[in-house]
Amino acid sequence: MIDELLGQDLVRAMAVNVGGQHEVVTLTAAGAAARAATVGDMKGVQDVLLASITKGESAQLRYLLRRVCATAARAGHGRSKV
């Protein structure tokens, strides 16, 4: 995946030697713009999908999703934040 992002000039990789050599990957300007566009697209989809629920239902949904993600994280599957 990193090679694909490097090929599209969306990220830059560099070797850093701090207590051993590590590769650090950072966004380029094009990568930051692509990320911002994707986040905007996701926000638009979320707004459409959640338009019919109340603020209380939205809060309850976020709470339940956090619980599901936390359980998955404890089991070693994915991130723990929503």
Task: Give the model's pLDDT for residue 79.
Answer: 54
Give residue 76's pLDDT band: very low, low, confident or very high (50, 70, 90): confident
Q: What single letter denotes the amino acid at residue 74?
A: R
| Share above pLDDT 90 across residues of the chain, in percent, rounded to a whole number | 78
Q: Which residue has the tokens 């966004």?
A: 27
Is 11:5 a contact under the CB 8 Å cutoff? yes
Task: Give the model's pLDDT for residue 23.
Answer: 87
Q: What is the pLDDT of residues 5-14, one digit of tens each?
A: 999 999 999 9
Quote the CA–CA distance of 61 and 53 in Å, as a whole number: 10
Q: What is the pLDDT of residues 43-62, one digit of tens each?
A: 999 999 999 999 999 999 99
Is 13:3 a contact under the CB 8 Å cutoff? no
Q: Return the SS3 of 55.
A: helix
